[in-house]
Every structure is written in C-alpha cells, then in structure tokens.
Chain A
Amino acid sequence: MISITVAVLASLGSLFILLAAVGILRMPDTYLRMAVTTKAATLGIGLILIAAAVYFHDLSTTTRVVAIIVFILLTAPVGAHLIGKASYIAGNKLWERSVMDDLKGKYRKTGRKVGAPRNMKESSDEDAG
C-alpha cells in the first residue's frame, strides 16, 4: 500500500517536474519560462517530498518534509518575482506576441524605479582612494 502511494506520488511529482523542464526549454521568452517553471516544479517537488514522508513514515521525517515544503512555498515565488523583476529592469524583451505591458516606462532609463529608495547601496560608488 505504502509502496503504491509512494510510486503514485513520485510519478505525479516527476511528471510535473518534467513539465517544468519542457517549459523552460520550449517557452520563447524569459518571463514565460519563469511563469511556467516555478509552479510546476514546486508542485512536483512537493509531491515527491510527500512521497518520501510517506515512505519513511515517522514523525521527524514528516516534519522535515513539511518544513521543506513550507520553505519552498515561501521562497520559490519570491525568487521568481526577484528574477522576473530583475530581468525586466535588465531590459529583457517580452515575447513578440505579448498583448500588453503595463510596466512599460515605469522604470527610468537607468533602470531604477522612480523614487525608489536606496538599499544595500545599489550603485557602486567606488571611492577614489
């Protein structure tokens, strides 16, 4: 019974991961690749991890699996958001068949958002030393 559950979960999980892989390979622009991969992979990994939890079938493993899933759910979207934003600022073009771009012109030519405050010293002002 456990074996079958594990097998099913793992299969589903790897399938979603495969999906993400195909996505990143096929999609025509950076944003699409990102949009496709984050979730598919997250779901896939979640399923595989659950499979492992089922397989080991003890409290400490389960809590660890839960922890990993929570971490991934927390970090994956944040990461995707960061790269997405960064690549938009870096000037990566949208796919030519895109229908709209509400962000167009929201960032200055220099790339920094209008009025955005400085954090970890974005510009590298080399001191003249």
Chain B
Amino acid sequence: MKNRFLANILLTFIWVALTGSFAFANVVFGFFLSYFLLLVITRGSGRARYFRMVPKAISFFFFFLYELVKANLQVAWEMGTPKFYMTPGIVGVPLDIHSDNEITMLANLITLTPGTLSLDVSEDKKVLYVYSMYITNREDFVRGIKQGFEKRIKELYS
C-alpha cells in the first residue's frame, strides 16, 4: 500500500518534470494519471524505503561517479596504447544481498563501470557472474566488489 503510494508520488513527480509545469492542475492530473496507470499494471513489487534512502543515495551517486571516471580513464589508457595489458576473465562473485532490486542495482553498476560486465546471476541468486578486463586474482576482485558497490547498496536498502 505504502509502496504503491510512493510509486504514485514518484510517477507524479516524473510527470511534472516531463511536462515542465508545476501548476496545480498538472500535478493533480499527473497524480491521477499515475494512479490510473498503476491501477492497470500493479502486481506488487519492490519494498524501497524512499525517505531514508535519499541521503545515502546522494553519497552513493558520487561514489559511483568516481568509480565511473576512474574506470573510464583506465579503459582510455588501454585503448590509447598499442599493446593490450588486460587479463580478462569471468568471476563468480558470491552475493550477500538477496532482493531482486539490490542484485539488479549491483549488477547494473558493475556493468556501467568500464572494464566489467555482469553476465548472469545464478538461479538461487547467490552468485553474480562478472566479466572483467583486469583480474589479477579472484579474491582481490571479489573483495573489490563486495567492499565497494555491494556494501553501499546494502546500506542503501537497509
């Protein structure tokens, strides 16, 4: 119920942003529109706690930006130099997080970071298979992910 309401509010906000008008009528319209759409499509999903999320999300965003730029530079180096220095491979990263949302977020963030790519999640949602360009050894790589993205995601969703 609450989730649905939140989703409704969120969609209303998106609507307002899209149309670029904060006029009362537009807000009301956006609200009813998203209410109607949710009514059509809702099946119960997610259990995000939006209010606590916000500050963590902001810090998370900057962390991500940092990783993004860092990795991009690394790839740029790889591209710009004639020789290949990479040591690619697929690593199964055991997961501590279990909800679909969390896993998806982790996987996407990994993918968005240059040099790595989430290939699949095991059926039991325990292992995330990641492809990476630079694997020195398995433990370091797994730790890097668990300490970085996974930890922050866990905090975000807690």
Contact = CB atoms under 8 A, between A and B. Distances in A.
Contact present between A and B (CB < 8 A): yes
Interface of A: 16, 19, 22-23, 26, 28-29, 31-32, 34-36, 38-40, 42-43, 58-60, 63-64, 66-67, 73-74, 76-78, 80-81, 84-85, 88, 94-95, 97-104, 106, 113-116
A35 B123 contact: no
B117 A84 contact: yes
A108 B59 CA distance: 42
Contacts of A81: 107-108, 111, 117-120
B131 interface: yes
Contacts of B68: 39, 43
Nearest to A23: B79
B118 A36 contact: no
Given A19-B72, A28-B84, A85-B120, A39 B113 contact: yes
A31 B138 CA distance: 18
A92 to B, nearest CB: 11
Given A28-B84, A39-B114, A116-B123, A64 B108 contact: no
B44 interface: no
A19 B89 contact: no
B120 A35 contact: no
Interface residues of B, number: 43
Given A19-B75, A43-B72, A84 B89 contact: no
9 smallest CB-CB distances across A and B, nearest first, come from: A60-B20, A77-B111, A102-B92, A77-B108, A100-B89, A39-B114, A63-B17, A99-B89, A35-B117
Contacts of B18: 63-64, 67
Contacts of B109: 77
Nearest to B19: A60
29 contacts: A19-B75, A23-B75, A32-B133, A34-B131, A35-B115, A35-B132, A38-B114, A39-B68, A39-B72, A39-B112, A39-B113, A64-B18, A77-B108, A77-B112, A78-B108, A78-B111, A84-B117, A97-B84, A97-B86, A97-B87, A98-B88, A98-B89, A101-B89, A102-B89, A103-B92, A103-B119, A103-B120, A103-B129, A106-B120
